[in-house]
């Protein structure tokens, strides 16, 4: 049982980190209103990308700093940056200011998250890390999942500014609680900070994240920009590995990978980060685009996933006190794998929402076991001197896995839709001089514009169908046969009668309406099939995580009040 002081400290950590997690997803549903208000459609992607990059890059750096300076200072600094960025974002007069504010928010949020995981390992003895990490992980999962729903709700009820302003009173409360109850933790190492390594990490991390964020959406994967970014990533990541190897004060001690528990947890957490995209990114897309439910209803359908994370985390926290973490991690991976494969095998235009709820609950329960489980394993497997480095790098890998997973799966979705939508649909439109794209299949407004364009084009051409113009006569072949025959037999110099024009336009409108309905159904089936395939792929990633986790070792967690002082390379191996 946690003592009152540690409990209040944990509540403060959960509160400030919940706000950080909330801000990573709450912006999504508010973006259309933000773009409309600030007239910054060209730069809107940077509102998300700026936060992602700054929070990702700062995690390993501040995690290492947590081993070298008092973590209390870093928590305060991160909270101050996050709240300052929130104030600036909420009052931003233009898109450039908002993007800058989001970068500041990301720096603060990444610092808070990285140092908080390290502090959990330093402030709580091994016997209490399970329950503490479980509650902490549950708060992060809950905040991330409800972010889009709250973003839409707050934007509609108040304005988009308040999705940022809401952080200020709650963040201020968390600041006060941290100042009152955070224990004094002295630095565990006398080494110096490796700022050169931090620069090299930034030089390979930023190009990689930019390439993953832009590739396939903003520009083609084969474009010079993306290729150049990936080349920068390869060059600077190789330089980072070479420079860091063997350095006593390295930003990241590569010898940590000789620790079996850390290595297995890192690989599994990376795979889990990629697989989680199936549940968190593509399920809402299916619900809105295929099941045709509202954004609010989509958020409600995600509720069992959220509750599953919370309940699974609580159960995991209790069980970690009593037994080895490996069974819980194996069960968690199995539940997530079953949930993803279940969705992958059952999703379709006619799938019941109740069935989706059932599979989502399995996903949530499994994630509830895994999100706190792997960090606890790492915290109990490394010495206190490297607690911040190991904990922050594990979270960095999960975030990197999620980013890579989103980019890879998104590319597969677009590519799959290009092949899944039958080519004869385009052929039917081409008869009327039209060529449409997959994005237009999925947007009724664009489809209506195309119909209006087609009718206007036909009206114009019929009005000028005289003189036997071969091109116009060829165009008339797109009409039904009786009208086509009558038009093509007109003598030169004779205008098309008004009554005949009206018949042609009415016939065209009827055909377009029929084709539009056919397109809508075809796209729904194709999108459902492609999303189902992505769920199956995510299930396979989780199966790989399950296989890797088998080798994590099966010994019990230490139960003492102090952390064993062993290095990463001489940690005793646990029996499998």
Distances (CA, A) of 173 to 23, 79, 416: 17, 11, 48
Q: Report the pLDDT value the prediction gives residue 428, as an integer from 0 to 100.
A: 47
Q: Is the pTM of this model over 0.75?
A: no
Question: Please, are residues 174 and 16 in contact by the beta-carbon 8 Å criterion?
Answer: yes
Question: Please, are residues 500 and 487 in contact by the beta-carbon 8 Å criterion?
Answer: yes
Give the tens place of pLDDT for each residue, 225-281.
888 989 998 998 888 888 877 777 777 777 788 888 888 998 999 998 888 876 677
C-alpha span between 390 and 403 (Å, rounded): 20
C-alpha span between 227 and 147 (Å, rounded): 33
State the helix-helix crossing angle for 71-90 and 95-123, rounded to 10 degrees: 160
C-alpha span between 106 and 532 (Å, rounded): 33
C-alpha span between 313 and 118 (Å, rounded): 19
Total residues found in the chain within this entry: 576
H/E element holding 431? none
Residue 163's nearest CA partner among 37, 272, 7 is 37
Low-confidence stretches of the chain (pLDDT < 70) are: 1-3, 28-29, 32, 39-45, 185-191, 216-217, 278-279, 295-296, 299, 320-323, 418-520, 522, 553-576
Q: Report the pLDDT value the prediction gives residue 44, as an integer from 0 to 100.
A: 64
User: To 5 degrees, how large is the angle CA 61–CA 66–CA 70?
Assistant: 140
C-alpha span between 75 and 338 (Å, rounded): 38
Question: Please, are residues 299 and 508 in contact by the beta-carbon 8 Å criterion?
Answer: no
Q: Is the dihedral of CA 140, 209, 75, 385 positive or negative?
A: positive
- In the numeric block, the tokens 């200011």 are attached to 97
H/E element holding 516? helix 498-549
Q: How many CB atoms lie within 10 A of CB 13?
A: 27
Q: Report the pLDDT value the prediction gives residue 575, as an integer from 0 to 100.
A: 35
Q: Report the pLDDT value the prediction gives residue 49, as an integer from 0 to 100.
A: 75
Q: Check residue 467 and give left, alpha or beta (phi > 0: left; psi -120 to 50: alpha).
A: left
Q: Report the pLDDT value the prediction gives residue 488, as an integer from 0 to 100.
A: 47
Q: Report the pLDDT value the prediction gives residue 520, as an integer from 0 to 100.
A: 66
Q: Report the pLDDT value the prediction gives residue 562, as an integer from 0 to 100.
A: 44
Work out the end-to-end distance of the chain between its first and last CA atoms, rounded to an integer number of angstroms. 30
C-alpha span between 138 and 143 (Å, rounded): 9
Burial classification of residue 498, based on how many CB atoms lie within 10 Å of its CB (0-12 exposed, 13-18 middle, 19 or more buried): exposed
DSSP string, 115-152: HHHHHHHHHS-HHHHHHHHHHHHHHHHHHHHHHHHHHH
Q: Report the pLDDT value the prediction gives residue 10, as an integer from 0 to 100.
A: 85
The tokens of 476 are what?
Answer: 């008339």
Q: Report the pLDDT value the prediction gives residue 62, as an integer from 0 to 100.
A: 86
The tokens of 67 are what?
Answer: 């081993």
């Amino acid at each position: 049982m946690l003592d009152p002081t540690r409990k209040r400290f944990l509540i403060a950590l959960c509160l400030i980190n919940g706000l950080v997690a909330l801000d990573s997803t709450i912006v999504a549903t508010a973006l259309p209103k933000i773009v409309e208000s600030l007239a910054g459609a060209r730069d809107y992607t940077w509102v998300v990308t700026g936060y992602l990059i700054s929070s990702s890059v700062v995690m390993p750096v501040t995690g290492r700093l947590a081993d070298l300076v008092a973590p209390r200072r870093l928590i305060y600094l991160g909270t101050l940056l996050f709240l300052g960025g929130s104030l600036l974002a909420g009052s931003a007069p233009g898109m450039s200011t908002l993007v800058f504010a989001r970068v500041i928010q990301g720096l603060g949020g990444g610092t808070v998250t990285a140092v908080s995981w390290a502090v959990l390992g330093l402030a709580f003895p091994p016997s209490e890390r399970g329950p503490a990490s479980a509650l902490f992980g549950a708060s992060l999962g809950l905040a991330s999942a409800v972010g889009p729903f709250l973003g839409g709700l707050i934007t509609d009820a108040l304005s988009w500014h308040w999705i940022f302003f809401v952080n200020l009173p709650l963040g201020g409360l968390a600041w006060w609680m941290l100042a009152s109850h955070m224990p004094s933790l002295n630095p565990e190492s006398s080494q110096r900070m490796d700022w050169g390594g931090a620069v090299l990490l930034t030089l390979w991390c930023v190009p990689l994240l930019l390439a993953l964020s832009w590739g396939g959406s903003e520009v083609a994967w084969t474009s010079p920009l993306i290729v150049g970014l990936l080349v920068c990533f390869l060059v600077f990541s190789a330089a980072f590995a070479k420079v860091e190897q063997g350095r006593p004060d390295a930003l990241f001690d590569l010898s940590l990978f000789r620790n079996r528990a850390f290595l297995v947890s890192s690989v599994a957490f990376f795979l889990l980060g990629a697989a989680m995209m199936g549940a968190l990114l593509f399920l809402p897309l299916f619900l809105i685009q295929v099941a045709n439910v509202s954004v609010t209803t989509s958020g409600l359908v995600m509720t069992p996933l959220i509750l599953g994370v919370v309940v699974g985390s609580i159960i995991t926290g209790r069980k970690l006190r009593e037994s080895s973490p490996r069974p819980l991690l194996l069960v968690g991976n199995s539940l997530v794998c079953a949930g993803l494969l279940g969705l992958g095998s059952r999703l379709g235009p006619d799938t019941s929402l109740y069935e989706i709820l059932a599979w989502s609950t399995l996903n949530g329960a499994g994630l509830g076991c895994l999100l706190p489980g792997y960090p606890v394993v790492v915290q109990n497997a490394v010495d206190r001197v490297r607690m911040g480095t190991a904990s922050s790098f594990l979270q960095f890998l999960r975030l990197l896995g999620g980013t890579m997973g989103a980019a890879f799966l998104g590319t597969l979705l677009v590519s799959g839709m290009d092949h899944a939508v039958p080519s004869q649909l385009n052929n039917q439109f081409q008869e009327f001089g039209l060529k449409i794209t997959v994005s237009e299949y999925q947007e009724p407004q664009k489809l209506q514009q195309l119909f209006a364009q087609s009718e206007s084009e036909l009206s114009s051409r019929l009005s000028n169908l005289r003189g036997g113009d071969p091109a116009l006569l060829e165009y008339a072949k797109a009409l039904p046969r009786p009208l086509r025959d009558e038009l093509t037999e007109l003598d030169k110099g004779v205008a098309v009668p008004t009554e005949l024009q009206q018949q042609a336009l009415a016939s065209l409108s009827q055909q377009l309406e029929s084709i539009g309905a056919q397109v809508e159904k075809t796209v729904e089936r194709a999108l459902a099939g492609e999303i189902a395939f992505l769920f199956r792929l995510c299930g396979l990633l989780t199966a790989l995580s399950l296989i890797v986790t088998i080798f994590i070792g099966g010994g019990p967690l230490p139960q003492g009040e102090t952390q064993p002082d062993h290095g990463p390379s001489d940690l005793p191996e646990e029996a499998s």
